Structure 1
């Protein structure tokens, strides 16, 4: 696999339906009206998304909303299961050269709201998000030792609005919801966080209107 960030949804691009170039959804259910007018750049950190390959085939994935809301420099996506230094050299160079945390609910994780000193220091950070099912995310974390060695940050006291996808427990949230919380706390942009969550809610409403069911 080439060590290149992935920004295009090839599966949707090959669809016979007309696809919105920004939100990567069919024009009839485009979410761009709910997104920021133009993609925004984060000043205190960037997201690095480690995405399980199965996610690219999930039509209701939430990372697309995050990707559509930010400039490419603020949301870099790598796809795979194991991210070795040999195949993902640029990824490891970024982690080595800049301060990096991974959002993962381990026992030694810092609570997000209590870890604002990470970005208040004025240093630029990478914030790694693992994108996949909870089982896939756990396996990816365990299979990539460099993730285990990073500072872990967790999110507490938040419930998911991602009603159309089953979560293993009540305190599990989608990748987008986690990112939105980080933006609200660390970047001090609650308005951007709110807009992304509104887009998620609208995506769920569209699916429910088309016969999908609420998952508890």
Structure 2
């Protein structure tokens, strides 16, 4: 028996609804995008979390953002070791092929990946320490960030670690030669954001002050 099945009927219905309304009303725009190619001004690196909806937050249309999503919106350090590097490949394509002017790293509240890193670093999630855990090995990227916030009261650590995920990614972005070159040539700027999904709030990182504050 094959595990591959037809698309669930509710998704088929939603597609036909979209095509009969949104697509039909904007057919010329969609065809223009298809024919002229994509020219996004910004790349957004966000979490896979289903509650984080980048285009809704910024009221963006198709073609505006080049979006990459992964667990906990992390960017690994530059490491051309011949392995599989989906996030690194997305960053390379955005910078060298699309020529985006901005890279935005968007973290968020109640992040399950960050919680996993927190528990793993505290010895509360031995399954994530297993070599076979893809999530655990991915969250190793954030281990240095945990050490920076481990001294905080328990009630403050998770939020601080969510913000460290953003800062860690920004730091790692600058280890990519083509990112650093574009930044130094003033062709590219980096931005760190954290979203409170429950309250609908957005905070931006200010490097001069060394903290996040509401936009």
Does the alignment reach a TM-score above 0.5?
Answer: no
More helix by share: 2
TM-score by length of 1: 0.35
Choose 1 or 2 for highest CA Rg.
2
Higher relative contact order (Cα pairs below 8 Å, separated by 6+ residues) = 1
